[in-house]
Chains A and B, each alone.
Chain A
Amino acid sequence: MSFDLALIANSIPKILLGIGLTFELLFLSLFLGTVLAISLLLMRISGRWYLSAPTMVYIYIFRGTPILVQIFIIYYGLPQLEFIRESFFWPILREPFGCAIIALTLNTGAYVSEIFRGGVLGVDRGLKEAGAALGLSVTHRFIYITSPIAIRLCLPAYSNDVISLMKSTALASTITLLDMMGIARTIVAETYAPYEIFLSVMVIYLIITWVIQRLFGWIERRMSRHVRSEA
């Protein structure tokens, strides 16, 4: 089996054209998903059943079904429903990009809210009690005591989710989007050289993963400055 290096050299620039779309999908879904996750978290820990119960159902559904299926339902499935076609959101829902963002956002929101919940639960009860004893209100305690500690606790899991999200963006290629994966598949279809092309794009994804991990490692170290035991 020969390894066509010229083909690789030729294809990598084309693949990299898709990196913009890959990053758009990643950052937009990440941002929206995190915002969604915070709302879900607040609903989940609100103590009010009419807020936490729907949230738990939502999380259960989105963590229990494959993301590919979620993408298909939104992109292929929603147009079946008349009220969707006539709704205000139709221009977004008609486009594969909009559908991909929505699917990725809804999915990652569910996972990240559970990660945040884990962080919040991990905060030592004693610290919250100390805050209460000092007279801080519930909201103040949440913002100034719980949140900073919780964020640091859930950084590892959050970074894993970011990497998962990055990998999920490749699924956008199944609904015609030309991100890196989409371009790669197109080239393979033309050239019948799966090894060269897929291995090249794999290397690019691995580099992105590595960068994300380094970034989060740095963030974690900075946040732990005061906590690392000097004793």
Chain B
Amino acid sequence: MSDSNQTTIIQLENVDKFFGDFQALKNISLSVKKGEKIVVCGPSGSGKSTLIRCINRLEEHNNGKIVVNGHELTSDVADIDAVRSEVGMVFQNFNLFPHLTIIKNLMLAPRKVRKVSKSEAHDTAMKYLERVKIPEQADKYPSQLSGGQQQRVAIARALCMNPEIMLFDEPTSALDPEMISEVLDVMTDLARDGMTMIVVTHEMGFARSVADNVIFMDEGEIVESNPPEEFFNNPKNERTKLFLSQILSH
């Protein structure tokens, strides 16, 4: 399932992140190749959200080095916006802009950041709305859509910037159970088309079928990192085993 292209597109080396005295990330090193799908799981507070938020610099790491798509993440502001336009992010709470229609939500960034023309932005937006299977909602407002629909719109919105990498921060955690699969289907489609993805989630079925690598984090460290078969059938670490038994028992 992984691309034969071997370029490393994300590289973390010895990354630490502190919130005051609390250390959220401890000496994290991680390498992601283009086209790889990584699932990150772990108990809450383990640092998994912090990890992906450091990748698009919504959080700033304190030590170590992060290189994303050829850009090293530093405090140079000019670079940040450029990096972010190449990395798409989907949030747990969707974060759609409530005062804009769906289609305008999708068109905003391409028009303002990439200076794309209105008609081109519109066409791209409709293309992705069709991809996530809700083109008929284009002129509605977010408040009129269900949670599952809103999250699919959020995915389409991120895709309109044609990112190289897509980050997902617990994309289905805020959804009613019956809507989870419609979002996971879109994500699976995206994976099959070759997108590099890092997904923080508890959806282990998704991890088994889509991931190239599953990472277990606990207390700010990467405890185990293995392809799904190894990870689920043959966990090496005690903490991983404990976590899996808790999460898979129901």
Direct contact, A vs B (beta carbon within 8 Å): no
B residues sitting closer than 8 Å to A (CB atoms) are none
